[in-house]
Copies of this chain bind each other. A is one copy, B any other.
Amino acid sequence: MTTDESPARKLATTVLAGDVRAAARLMRDLDDRRPSALDTLKQLFPHTGKAYLVGVTGNPGAGKSTVVDALIAHYRAAGEKVGVVCVDPTSPFSGGAILGDRIRMQRHALDPGVFIRSLATRGHLGGLSRSTFDVAHVLDAMGFERILIETVGVGQDEVDVMKAAHTTVVVTVPGLGDDIQAIKSGLLEVADVLVVNKSDREGADRTERDLMHMLDLRAHGERKEVEIVRTIATKGTAEGSGIAELATAVEAHRARIWQGPAAADRALARAQAHLGELVRALLADRASRAMEARGGLGEIARGIAERRTDPWTIAEQLVGAL
């Protein structure tokens, strides 16, 4: 860390003072991987560690954005400052229709107690998870006590991104087909709280029973405690049916996991996971540079395409030379 009055330090001071435009600029610079932005992040780090991160994920069409919207209203009504990170790993190139929901949520942006930041994958391996951690740290340092991380896709990205959360909420709805049930079985593993949203729909009882059954199936001896909450989230209100119960379930998980005797160990594991992400990301950068530096990469690729050599041998040589 630099201790002089460097630009990084000045920007950190501005962000800590609550300047949202400076914060937005910093997040953009972090996304662009500017070294100066990283220096600022290092300056902010000692001021982090106070926020509680809640991840919200689940099946497409389950109403995640609506649940997040209702949770924002709930936490705001309780006087908490709320940061939101919307992660969209499904649109590597374009924003797409997702913006609709996001724009509706943006009305909260008029509230200085709410800060919303959208992230889309930039094509980097593990990049989304890193960006999520970065943004969450900035929001944490700024005093946002509650940070909601919403992800849209379903897959390994989801699981990686959710590593940043203290409590992960998985949202589903009644009446999804078999194929979608299957997807849920992957998400189920990361769930600390399960939500059956749109629970006024037919089949809510069955969905809840199915979820219970899946949780039982998964338990090999020890069964992770996962609460199931029914909601009928309504955009823009804290009174969406079940939202208060959902918030209570999140707090119950928090008390159990992050305030109990094992909390310190978990905090260590979390720090270690974050460090692992960063190391992998730095190595990926280095590999990209190493390959760019070898202007002869086109020639190497030609040798592979023509089967004169094989890619595994070349990869070993490139990495060995680092």
Contacting chain B: which of A18-26, A91-99, A252-260? A91-99
Interface SS majority for chain A: helix
B100 touches A186 (CB 8 A): no
A128 touches B156 (CB 8 A): yes
- Give CA–CA (A185, B189) in the complex, Å: 27
Chain B: which residue is nearest A121 at the CB level?
B156
> 1/0 per position for A271-305, CB-CB distance to B under 8 A?
11011101111111011101100000110111011
Contacting chain B: which of A77-85, A225-233, A238-246, A313-321? A313-321
List A135-189 residues whose CB lies under 8 Å from chain B.
152-159, 176-187, 189
* Pairs A–B under 8 Å by Cβ, sample size 22: A89-B156, A90-B156, A90-B187, A91-B185, A92-B159, A92-B186, A92-B189, A94-B189, A97-B185, A101-B179, A121-B156, A155-B156, A268-B301, A270-B305, A272-B298, A274-B311, A275-B300, A275-B318, A279-B290, A279-B319, A283-B286, A286-B319
Interchain nearest-CB distance for A78 vs B (Å): 27
Name the B residues within 8 Å of A313 (CB-CB): 1, 42
A315 touches B279 (CB 8 A): yes
What residues of chain A have their CB less than 8 Å away from a CB belonging to chain B? 1, 38, 41-42, 45-46, 48-49, 59-62, 89-98, 100-101, 121, 123, 125-126, 128, 152-159, 176-187, 189, 218, 264, 267-272, 274-276, 278-284, 286-288, 290-291, 297-298, 300-302, 304-305, 307, 310-316, 318-319, 322
Number of copies of this kind of chain in the complex: 2
Name the B residues within 8 Å of A100 (CB-CB): 178, 182
Interchain nearest-CB distance for A195 vs B (Å): 15
Q: A268-B301, A271-B311, A310-B45 are in contact. Are A153 and B183 (CB under 8 A)?
A: yes
